[in-house]
Structure 1
Amino acid sequence: MITKEHDDEIRGWFAGRLPGDLFEGAPEVTADREEITVVGGIPAPDLAGSASPAERQAAAEGRLQEFRERTRERRMAVARDAERRFGRKVSWGAECDGVSALFTHVAAPVMTRLRQPERRVLDTLVAAGVARSRSDALAWCVRLVRRHTDDWLTELRDSLEHVERVRAQGPDVTHAREADAAPDTTDEQN
Structure 2
Amino acid sequence: MITPEQHEKLLGWFAGRLPDDLFEELVEVTADREEITVIGRIPEPRLAGGAPEAEREAAAHSRIQEFRERSRDARIAVAREAEHQYRRKVSWGVECGGERALFTHVAAPVMTRLRQPERQVLDTLIAAGVARSRSEALAWCVRLVQRHTDDWLAELRESLAHVQRVRAQGPDAEGVSDPSTDGTEDG
- Give the Å deviation of 1:131: 2.0
Offset of 1:146 from its aligned partner?
Answer: 2.1
Q: Deviations over 1:82-118 (max 9, x none)?
A: 0011000000011110111111100000011111111
TM-score, normalising length from structure 1?
Answer: 0.76
Partner-residue secondary structure (3-state), 2:136: helix
Using the TM superposition, give the Cα deviation of residue 125 of structure 1 relative to its aligned residue in structure 2, in angstroms: 1.4
1:135 CA drift (Å): 1.0
Deviations 1:22-75, CA, capped at 9 Å, x for gaps: 111223100000000001111111111232111111111111000000000000
2:65 alignment partner in structure 1: 65
Residue identity over aligned pairs, in percent, reads 72
Give the corresponding residue for 2:40. Answer: 40
Instruction: Quote the residue 1:49 is aligned against.
Output: 49
Amino acid at match of 2:39: V
More helix by share: 1
For the Cα contact (< 8 Å) 2:26–2:39, is it kept in 1?
no
Give the unaligned 5+ runs of structure 1: 157-190
How do 1:14-33 residues align onto structure 2 when only pairs under 5 Å count? 14-33=14-33
Q: Which residue of 2 is the match for residue 104 of structure 1?
A: 104
The residue correspondences of 1:1-190 to structure 2 (distance < 5 A) are: 1-150=1-150, 152=153
- Contact persistence 2:38–2:93 (CA under 8 A): yes
Q: TM-score, normalised by structure 2?
A: 0.77
Taking the aligned partners of 1:145 and 1:107, their CA distance within structure 2 comes to: 18
- Between the aligned partners of 1:148 and 1:50, the Cα distance in structure 2 is 33
**Counterpart Cα distance in 2 of 1:132 and 1:66:** 34
Instruction: Please give the alpha-carbon distance, in whole angstroms, between the structure 1 residues aligned to 2:129 and 2:81.
Output: 42
Aligned CA RMSD, in angstroms, stands at 1.8
Contiguous gaps of at least 5 residues in structure 2 = 158-187
Matches of 2:79 and 2:20, distance apart in 1? 16
Amino acid at match of 1:88: R
The Cα of 1:7 is off from its aligned counterpart by 1.1
